Amino acid sequence: MEDNSRIIRTEYSEEMQKSFINYAMSVIIARALPDIRDGLKPVQRRTLYDMYELGIRYDRPYRKCARIVGDTMGKYHPHGDSSIYDALVVMSQDFKKGLPVIDGHGNFGNIEGDGAAAMRYTEARLQKVTQDAFLADLDKDVVDFMPNFDETEKEPMVLPVRISNFLVNGSEGIAVGMATSTPPHNLGEVIDATKAYMLDENISTRELMRYLKGPDFPTGGIVTNKDELLEIYETGVGKIKIRGKVELEKAKGGKTNVVITEIPYPMIGMNIAKFLSDVAALAETKKTNDIVDISNQSSKEGIRIVIELRKDADAENFVNLLYKKTRLEDTFGVNMLAICNGRPEIMGLKAILKASVDFQYEIATRKYTNLLAREMERKEIQEGLIKACNVIDLIIEILRGSKDRAMAKACLTEGKIDGIRFKSRESKIMATQLMFTEKQANAILEMRLYKLIGLEIEALINEHEETMANIFRYEDILERRESMAQVIINDLEALKREYGRKRRTAIENVEEAVYKEKAVEEIEVMFLMDRFGYAKTVDMPTYERNREAADSENRFVFSCKNTGKVCLFTDTGQLHTIKVADLPFGKFRDKGVPIDNVSNFDSQKESIVFLTSQTELNLRQVIFVTAASMIKIVDGGEFDVSKRTVAATKLSDGDKVVGVAAVTDQRNIVLQTAGGYFLRFPIEEIPEKKKGAIGVRGMKLAEGDVVEAVYFTKNGVENVIEYKGKKFVLNSIKPSKRDTKGTKVRK
């Protein structure tokens, strides 16, 4: 019999909802987002703490990264070695972090996107700043510890970071339903802004930005929207526009070199290669003819991308082209999201500094409370030893007369003299008056004889005075907020003096780049498209030399301006426009480009019915014929549109366009149906309509029959077609009226 006692019945949707929320909260709180207090994600915090525990300090030898990763994973972070190593690598890269906290030895990747070597080859240790500003005072009970995943170790819930690391190093992470993206900032400016907030907690964001100008990316560059930064730092959300730094250098032969010495922060990694390919594409697509050569001369000394321009090029205009068409000008999306008081919160600059300062006060309070307790304990022992030195003869007499340690201790702490032999009655009376504390008694019993030397006693008195001074100082710090604030400020100023550096990123208001395209000399060209859909243009002399081959080998042949457009009508009633400049211009035997690649036309879903130049259309009227025999004339000017794709005509359900033609010197139109009916009537009978109209019926169709082809005839000219394998003269069809049945042709 099946035991159902352990089966829990529950609503599936409720279980899914509960499980997903638990998963989402785990990712948000314990994986992807940094804590506002130390600016670290759990994997970063655990890696740094493990290195601290392993003793891999800045003044010790490097250790293999594999050892660090394995130890971190085994003790604190059981989520895979790659996530730990990736975090370790990023914390050591000076082109990603404003203040690298790990000193890497070996191949730790580069700014161009090459990854770090395997962890078994690389080594690392902590930076000095990490020990001074991130891990100092961990032994003074300044932060809470919690059990690790298997409760065999303890790990800090947060590191006692003395600076706003969330601002200094920035942060990027994707959680569930939210993401954080904070740019790095200058250490000195962050410290100055922190001090300003501590001195005036009512300070505005605008005033804080007198100290913290804006982001300071390790790659330098130029922030171009200075006026928008105030709103970004007030709300914690926005977009920072950043450009690379460009210098113009004179080269041989009067040429100019455009040299990129700093790149936008989002370009680091594989985007440098993408930038180079984008610049090359500008030359290949004829967006510019100024480029002679491109070379990436970057090295350990820094970025240096050189673009050599031709002699008469407008260098400044070319630089504007780079800003407009490549990632030399980019945006950094700001979303300053962090875990604050156990929940994710988007924070402005003032809120971030408040959280950091509150944490500093908390650390300082716990630190000096702990130090005060230690000094009070030292004071107690020192006072006991000084008092003991004054009655040292009595204490020696007690020690010599006692049978064991317990008897001597009882006499020192409680004045009990039972069982102790004294030399004199005075000593016995004095012994009953001793009232040392337990700690003082232990110190006396453990005191060595050399402490009785005069100089040692004097040193003990000096130590006691120093201890009393420390107690006075610590009590002052704990009792007066101004004193604690000054201590924190002094620590911050010391960090700024030792680790501060000049700003790398310039903050400016820059007008949007304007690229002036050079006027192209307008010439007449011939458009050629073969039956496979490959199109190109050639100059008129080339066409004239190859006229016979061009007309026989191509489906569409017509003249157009190189500055104009080509109009492509499809059977679905769409009009696709194509810039002639986007088509390859060259030799007659060049293959050309698929028409799909330079337009929105999709050969898998629609077919070409008619192709002509927009200039020609503007001068003409256009006839439309559909399979359902709907017909109309539209003024060609209606197709002079700027959009790449528009509806050229309206169709009924299931209908399609079978014929489009520009009206020139045609006199009659001939409609041919799939059933073999032909109808010939004057073009004058076709009414002019708007392109949005369906039109009128051109021919009465038998049930199931459709218009299959459209022809045109001219007066006095014999028009011959091939029909069912035989030649057929269209002029032989008896002229009729529109909207009649037509003539059945049997061949």
Residue from 369, 374, 340, 362 nearest 161 by CA: 362
pLDDT at 414 over 80: yes
pLDDT at 321 over 70: yes
CA angle, 722 then 724 then 728, to 5°: 40
Core vs surface per residue 307-321: b (16+ CB within 10 A) or e:
bbbeeebebebbbbb
Percent of the chain with pLDDT over 70: 97
Residue 445: predicted pLDDT: 84
Percent of the chain with pLDDT over 90: 55
Q: How many of the other CB atoms lie within 10 Å of CB of 711? A: 19
SS3 call for 19: helix
Asked if 489 and 198 touch (Cβ cutoff 8 Å), the reply is yes
Collect all residues with Cβ–Cβ distance below 8 Å to 205 and sequence separation of at least 6.
Answer: 230, 233, 234, 348, 349, 350
Asked if 471 and 101 touch (Cβ cutoff 8 Å), the reply is no
Which two three-digit tokens encode residue 565? Answer: 């457009």
Q: Are strands 222-223 and 506-507 parallel, antiparallel or unpaired?
A: parallel
Please, what's the largest Cα pairwise distance for the chain?
A: 158
Collect all residues with Cβ–Cβ distance below 8 Å to 378 and sequence separation of at least 6.
Answer: 463, 467
Collect all residues with Cβ–Cβ distance below 8 Å to 473 and sequence separation of at least 6.
Answer: none
Residue 451: predicted pLDDT: 67
Q: At what angle do helices 349-390 and 438-446 cross, to 10 degrees?
A: 60
Residue from 39, 105, 93 nearest 269 by CA: 93
Interatomic CA distance for residues 123 and 117, integer angstroms: 10
Looking at 180-194, 202-216, 311-325, 404-418, which range is the least confident one? Answer: 404-418
Confidence band (pLDDT; 50, 70, 90) for 270? confident
Which two three-digit tokens encode residue 669? Answer: 């139109």
- The strand ranges marked E within 3-97 are 63-64
Asked if 259 and 304 touch (Cβ cutoff 8 Å), the reply is yes
Asked if 734 and 668 touch (Cβ cutoff 8 Å), the reply is no
CA 368 to chain centre: 41
Options 121, 233, 368, 543, the catalytic residue: 121
- H-type alpha helices, 391-501: 392-401, 405-414, 425-432, 438-446, 454-479, 481-499
pLDDT at 370 over 50: yes
What is residue 735's DSSP assignment?
A: P
pLDDT digits (tens, 9 = 90+) for 678-701: 999 999 999 999 988 999 999 999
pLDDT at 2 over 60: no
Collect all residues with Cβ–Cβ distance below 8 Å to 490 and sequence separation of at least 6.
Answer: none
Does the pTM surpass 0.85? The reply is: no
pLDDT at 447 over 90: no
Collect all residues with Cβ–Cβ distance below 8 Å to 712 and sequence separation of at least 6.
Answer: 661, 666, 668, 669, 670, 683, 719
- The mean pLDDT value of the chain amounts to 89
Residue 299: predicted pLDDT: 84
SS3 call for 331: strand
pLDDT at 1 over 50: no
Q: How many of the other CB atoms lie within 10 Å of CB of 571? A: 19
pLDDT digits (tens, 9 = 90+) for 155-166: 999 999 999 999
pLDDT digits (tens, 9 = 90+) for 473-483: 999 999 999 99
Interatomic CA distance for residues 715 and 642, integer angstroms: 37
pLDDT digits (tens, 9 = 90+) for 594-608: 998 888 988 888 999
Distance between first and last Cα of the chain: 85
121 noted as active-site residue: yes
Which two three-digit tokens encode residue 692? Answer: 């949005």
What is residue 311's DSSP assignment?
A: T
Residue 189: predicted pLDDT: 96
Cα radius of gyration (the chain): 43
The mean per-residue pLDDT over the stretch 137-147 comes to: 92
Interatomic CA distance for residues 467 and 596, integer angstroms: 86
Domains, the chain, in order of start with CATH, read: 40-158 (3.90.199.10), 245-327 (3.30.1360.40), 359-498 (1.10.268.10), 524-744 (2.120.10.90)
590 against 543, higher pLDDT: 543
pLDDT at 313 over 70: yes
Residue from 543, 578, 546, 550 nearest 562 by CA: 578
CA angle, 595 then 596 then 601, to 5°: 105
Q: Are strands 657-662 and 621-626 parallel, antiparallel or unpaired?
A: antiparallel
Per residue, the 3-state secondary structure of 581-607, as one string, reads HHCCECCCCCCCEEHHHHCCCCCCCCC
Q: How many of the other CB atoms lie within 10 Å of CB of 699? A: 25
Residue 14: predicted pLDDT: 80
Place of tokens 């314990």: 30
Residues listed for the chain? 747
Looking at 83-92, 445-454, 692-701, which range is the least confident one? Answer: 445-454
Sign (positive or negative) of CA dihedral 548, 552, 558, 564:
negative
Interatomic CA distance for residues 299 and 723, integer angstroms: 72
The mean per-residue pLDDT over the stretch 17-33 comes to: 78
Which two three-digit tokens encode residue 45? Answer: 């915090």
Interatomic CA distance for residues 627 and 650, integer angstroms: 13
Phi-psi domain of 618 (left: phi exceeds 0; alpha: psi -120 through 50; beta: other): alpha
Looking at 19-28, 275-284, 543-552, 667-676, which range is the least confident one? Answer: 19-28
Asked if 198 and 356 touch (Cβ cutoff 8 Å), the reply is no
Asked if 388 and 395 touch (Cβ cutoff 8 Å), the reply is yes
Interatomic CA distance for residues 708 and 725, integer angstroms: 16
Asked if 495 and 132 touch (Cβ cutoff 8 Å), the reply is yes
Residue 455: predicted pLDDT: 60
Edge-to-edge, what's the strand order for the sheet holding 565-570? Answer: 608-613, 565-570, 574-579, 645-647
Interatomic CA distance for residues 135 and 55, integer angstroms: 12
pLDDT at 615 over 90: no
Q: How many of the other CB atoms lie within 10 Å of CB of 231? A: 12
Interatomic CA distance for residues 738 and 629, integer angstroms: 11
